Structure 1
Amino acid sequence: MAVADSLLHAGGPVIALAAFALVALFTRWAFGSDLARDRRHRGPVDDGLLTHVATLSRRESALALRAVLSDAGIRSTLRFPAAHRAEVLVFPEDADRARQLAASFGGGA
């Protein structure tokens, strides 16, 4: 009988941990976010006050274009909406000049 009692005492915590793990997995499944689902159902991106002026395929090219814009006195920012895609955004009053500089930029746009 002593062996049965010791197995019962050792099995109790194991059963409790297993039950806790199952509850944790269920709540993660039920309440977790599905990134693929979120991407599919997103609406258009709101740029706020900024205007999109260029899309480049490499981060380094986008950083180089941003440096060119900065040298011209144009404030800009970058957004990375997907892998191998970088977007350059500027304020609307600088958009025309920024587009001209981006068109003459040879950084792999």
Structure 2
Amino acid sequence: MPIDAGSLHFLVGPGIALVVLGILAVFLRWAFASSTPKVTRRPAAEDGLLTRVATLSRKESALALRAVLSDAGIRSTLRYPAPHRADVLVFPEDAARARQLAGTFTNG
């Protein structure tokens, strides 16, 4: 015997389906949420063990400065935090010498 739901009987099935999908979506969001809160990274002059000694606008310039530092016996690496920006990072014990070399560096 069919259930009489009045004149809106064609909305009962899809309505129940939408409610069940909504409950399922909320449950899955809760179940698979990260247990640790998201931490936004704040810009800092120091990144872990490395210290930023120069920020350049071109990748080629940063690679050239890195080569100059390497010739002076200073280990360095590059980081690209944004488009058209390259940071040169060194260990803290080499930072003063690296900054001195970076100050005299001209890419030409």
Normalising by structure 1, we get a TM-score of: 0.59
- Give the number of the structure with larger relative contact order, counting CA–CA contacts within 8 Å between residues 6 or more apart: 1
What is the alpha-carbon root mean square deviation over aligned residues? 2.4
Identity percentage of aligned residues: 74
Can you give the 5+ residue segments of structure 1 that lack an aligned partner in the other structure?
1-26, 32-40
Higher helix share: 1
Q: What displacement does 1:44 show?
A: 1.6
TM-score scaled by structure 2? 0.59
Deviations 1:63-107 (A, max 9, x none): 000000000000000000000000000000000000000000012
The answer as to 2:75 corresponding to 1:79 is no
Larger Rg: 1 or 2? 2
State how 1:45-60 maps to structure 2 within 5 Å.
45=43, 47-60=47-60
1:44 counterpart letter in structure 2: R
Q: Which runs of 4+ in 1 moved over 3 A?
A: none
Between the two proteins, the alignment pairs up a number of residues equal to 72
